[in-house]
Structure 1
Amino acid sequence: GRTIPVTDPYNMYFTPNGSRAIVVAERLHRLDFRDPHSFALRHSLTVPCSGVDHMDFSADGSYLIASCEFSGQLIKVDVASESVVGTLTLPDGAGGMPQDVKLSPDGRTFYVADMMANGLWKIDGDTLHVLGFLPTGRGVHGLYPSRDARFLYATNRGEGSISVISFATQKVVAKWTIPGGGSPDMGGVSADGKILWVSGRYNGVVYAISTRDGKVLATIPVGVGPHGLCVWPQPGRYSLGHTGILR
């Protein structure tokens, strides 16, 4: 396909109704709302935080919650008006470094990985306040729901492990350690739900991990610095972008 020039693309998402593409221009402190077909720029939204990167949408798609890793904040953006309607400084403040954001299957709680706090913040998106904190592991980074929507896999990049969180109890029910250490970062679950594929950012590999027992099924050399990883195809009705996230 043709190459489409955009400005400072760090991440890219699509709104749940398919009306907009959002290019995350992290360095410029912007969310660029674009036509999802032509990618013509509709509106550049300057955000009041530093390091905007990951996001997820409310269940009805009316707003998004985005993490700002360099200022330890979250922002709430109204999708229809393309405007910031709230800012939340996490309890760690500038000492925190929020990363991936995922909405719970029941639509009530946003989970936010904080790699400096070594755990997940639980956020009420409607009121934009902290519900609690769940320790997982050092350098937690990526968040991936299981195919049956019972569990959330959290990659602890700093210690080479995966924490398994029960959505029902909001507790860690298992921790899978990569033998010999590793740096699990971003990834996705296979279409059948049996394998969690994750990049090993500082080890130059991709891990294939069994979701049944956490066993590493394969370690595949891929070259220096693998970060984003997309597992395809995925079940779902529409794409939210990022690393192949569908609903």
Structure 2
Amino acid sequence: MGRRRALCRALASLIAAAMVSGCGSPVAFYRPGEGGADEPVVGLGGASPYVRSTPARPKAADPPGAVPVAPAGGRVYAATGPGMIAPKARDMPARLYVASGHGIEVIDPRTMRPVGRFGAGAVASRVVPSWDMRKLWVADTVHDVLVPVGARSGGHGRPVRVADPAGLYFTPDGRTALVAAGRPRRIEVRDPWTMRPRAAVPLPCAAQDGDFTLGGGYLVMSCTSAGALVRLDVAGRRVAGTVRLPAGARPGDLRLSPDGGTFFVADAARGGVWAVDARTFAPQGFLPTAPGARGLAISRDARRLFVSGGGTLAAVDFRARRVTARWPLPGGGNAVPGGVSSDGRALWLADPDGLVYAVSTRTGRVLRHARVKGRPAGLCVHPQPGRFALGGTGLYR
């Protein structure tokens, strides 16, 4: 018995000496309250080592499902690559929503067959997904309403009265909806879930198409008839600047470059795109693409900008700032883009003559097409890759 006690005391002394001499666990342990949330702690009788004793409570002002605004790695489209559908939208069926003037035609993009129709009686001009992508907003500029539609059910809610909803946008943090109104010329600040009005910002011109700066603090919009761009300070609810393009310009759709440094603005009158510095708000130059350039879309790898209009689809290399391909479009019409497919292989477009089709983003060849009734004025491909939707025509981050 004495020998056993002596051995125990010797073993304890050895362990203590090893601890003092620097021998330790290969895994770093921390005292309770120190280290990271998923790191082990030392403390007998303390809280469980892999669980916070007092979990952080979300801010009351945060909208459901809010995510960080800053893009991963500083790249604007880091979360919109092939197949990067947000978890909340992965179980939604892929659909094409065509605003045909008298309602919304719903088409299965795989079979090109109609699978539904809603909004009968509404003169739909465009379909915009909500920030969380769970519902769609149908803009009716004739009856001055926005109609909410369930992305899964197809059932529509009560129309919301909005004066001439020419464009609908959502701030990257999901807390604010911005409605571009043509009559009167202003931006209406609204609740993103109920569309209840909060404030209104007068504009110097009638704006419609737009995109956000890298951090989301500003919304840059084009005023086609005035040949100008306007920059809205979202938090300050004021116009922070305007820039008038050279005489004869008619700016339309615009997109932020992948590095966040430049806005590319389509110009149907001059047949190309303007490059505008996102920081100084000064024009950097003009790149001819094809007559009638009006619609823009970005490839899934964020290397190319697609410019449609005037019966032509042009592909522009962002880094080289040059046209790498020009492809003729069916019928030579003014097709409007609705978005790039999730796998990045096809660009969907709608022609006012009633044709909806997909072209290869590699060759420009028509892959699939379908005829619809009415005169399509807008197309929405849903869902698309991204953490959230910014509204407009296929804006995702």
**What's the TM-score once normalised by structure 1's chain length?**
0.94
Change (3 A) 1:60 1:115: same
- Please, which of 361, 364, 378 is the counterpart of residue 211 of structure 1? 361
Per the alignment, residue 218 of structure 2 pairs with 63
Does 1:46 pair with 2:202?
Answer: yes
Which consecutive unaligned segments of at least 5 residues does structure 1 have? none
Per the alignment, residue 85 of structure 1 pairs with 240
Does 1:232 pair with 2:388?
Answer: no
Q: Contact 1:186/1:227 (CA < 8 Å) preserved in 2? A: no
* 1:53 aligned counterpart, secondary structure: coil
* 1:197 aligned counterpart, secondary structure: strand
Change (3 A) 1:151 1:195: same
Q: Contact 1:232/1:244 (CA < 8 Å) preserved in 2? A: no
Distance 1:110 1:215 in 2: 28
Change (3 A) 1:70 1:180: closer
Distance 1:186 1:73 in 2: 22
Distance 2:199 2:330 in 1: 47
Per the alignment, residue 189 of structure 1 pairs with 340
1:51-104 deviation line (CA, Å, top 9, x unaligned):
311000001101111000110000011111111010100012xx2211001000
* 2:208 aligned counterpart, secondary structure: strand
Distance 1:109 1:99 in 2: 16
Q: CA RMSD in A?
A: 1.2
Aligned pairs for 1:89-104 within 5 A? 89-92=244-247, 95-104=248-257
* 1:11 aligned counterpart, secondary structure: strand
Which structure shows the higher helix fraction?
2
Per the alignment, residue 131 of structure 1 pairs with 284
Which structure shows the higher strand fraction?
1
Q: Contact 1:204/1:225 (CA < 8 Å) preserved in 2? A: yes
1:22-76 deviation line (CA, Å, top 9, x unaligned):
1111232111110111211111111012x31100000110111100011000001
State the percentage of identical aligned residues: 46
Distance 2:250 2:337 in 1: 16
1:201-243 deviation line (CA, Å, top 9, x unaligned):
2x21112101121101123211232121111111111110123
Does 1:113 pair with 2:270?
Answer: no
* 1:187 aligned counterpart, secondary structure: strand
Of stretches 69-78 and 1-10 in structure 1, the one that deviates more from structure 2 is 1-10
C-alpha deviation, 1:179, in angstroms: 4.5
Distance 2:269 2:330 in 1: 23
Distance 1:14 1:149 in 2: 21
Distance 1:223 1:177 in 2: 24
Does 1:164 pair with 2:300?
Answer: no
